[in-house]
């Protein structure tokens, strides 16, 4: 239904370094052209246009964008003649990881999958226009990671880092220690990645 409503085309993206990882994605050309899957390098008008990669908030699949509130940014970018790439983190919907920890949407896995989506856009689809990334909530992990590699980012209602959430939500160093222990040391310093891009651009 999402594909018919917005002329989206389903894609499987496979990070080259991860054996069984498959990312469930859908590309929406602003021109409504069809991707030639047998010849991804074929000349298409949409390749000259800018593209935004959308990174979902927690507990949301891109398939939910068929509902009006969730479809806002998809409609917004397409109406501005901007292509859109939507994707699901591994462990969400049909996206799959490899073995053990590779199956879960940890911050490291989300960042790795975000890189694979960006590489697919540039290297496989051959997009020539500028590329931006929009991330809401959990999507800030992927978006802040890609700041060095894209032309524009929008981070909407995300968090600076998960350690501070543990610290201030549960009031104490013990909460941070237990969080690090329970997650095997997840690194989610979105603030440092975002700030580093700001320094680089000055």
pLDDT at 202: 36
In angstroms, rounded to a whole number, what is the distance separating the alpha carbons of residues 43 and 54? Answer: 24
Proportion of the chain above pLDDT 90, given as a percent: 44
| Coil/strand/helix, residue 77 | helix
pLDDT at 199: 42
Both tokens of residue 91? Answer: 């462990």
pLDDT at 136: 93
Best mean pLDDT range from 71-75, 82-86, 140-144: 82-86
pLDDT of 137-190, one tens digit each? Answer: 989 999 999 998 999 999 998 877 777 777 777 777 888 887 777 776 776 666
Phi and psi dihedrals of 134, rounded to 5?
-115, 125
* Per-residue pLDDT at 32 exceeds 70: yes
CA angle 62, 72, 51 (to 5 degrees): 70
Query: 80 falls in which pLDDT band (50, 70, 90)?
Result: very high
Looking at residues 49-77, what average pLDDT do you find? 90
Q: Which fold has domain 2-158?
A: Rossmann fold (3.40.50)
pLDDT at 142: 93
* Per-residue pLDDT at 81 exceeds 60: yes
Query: 18 falls in which pLDDT band (50, 70, 90)?
Result: low
Both tokens of residue 66? Answer: 């068929």
pLDDT at 168: 75
CA angle 5, 1, 9 (to 5 degrees): 75
Looking at residues 39-50, what average pLDDT do you find? 91
- Asked whether the beta carbons of 178 and 187 are under 8 A apart, the reply is no
Domain boundaries, the chain: 2-158, 160-202
H or E element, residue 52: strand 51-55
In angstroms, rounded to a whole number, what is the distance separating the alpha carbons of residues 190 and 113? Answer: 16
In angstroms, rounded to a whole number, what is the distance separating the alpha carbons of residues 9 and 22? Answer: 16
Phi and psi dihedrals of 90, rounded to 5?
-60, 140
Say which residues have a Cβ less than 8 Å from residue 197's Cβ, sequence separation at least 6.
147, 148, 153
Q: 133 or 107: which carries more pLDDT confidence?
A: 133
- Asked whether the beta carbons of 116 and 24 are under 8 A apart, the reply is no
């Amino acid at each position: 239904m999402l594909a018919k409503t917005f002329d989206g085309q389903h894609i499987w993206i496979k990070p080259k370094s991860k054996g069984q990882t498959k990312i469930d994605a859908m590309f929406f050309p602003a021109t409504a052209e069809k991707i030639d899957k047998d010849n991804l390098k074929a000349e298409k008008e949409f390749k000259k246009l800018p593209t935004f990669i959308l990174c979902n908030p927690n507990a949301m699949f891109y398939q939910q964008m068929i509902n009006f509130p969730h479809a806002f940014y998809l409609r917004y970018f397409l109406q501005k003649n901007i292509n859109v790439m939507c994707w699901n983190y591994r462990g969400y919907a049909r996206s799959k990881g490899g073995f053990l920890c590779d199956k879960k949407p940890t911050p490291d896995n989300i960042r790795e999958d975000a890189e694979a989506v960006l590489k697919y856009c540039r290297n496989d689809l051959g997009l020539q226009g500028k590329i931006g990334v929009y991330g809401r909530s959990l999507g800030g992990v992927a978006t802040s990671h890609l700041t060095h590699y894209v032309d524009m980012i929008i981070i909407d209602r995300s968090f600076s880092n998960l350690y501070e959430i543990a610290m201030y939500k549960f009031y104490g160093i013990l909460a941070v220690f237990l969080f690090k222990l329970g997650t095997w040391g997840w690194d989610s310093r979105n603030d440092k990645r975002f700030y580093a891009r700001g320094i680089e651009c000055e």
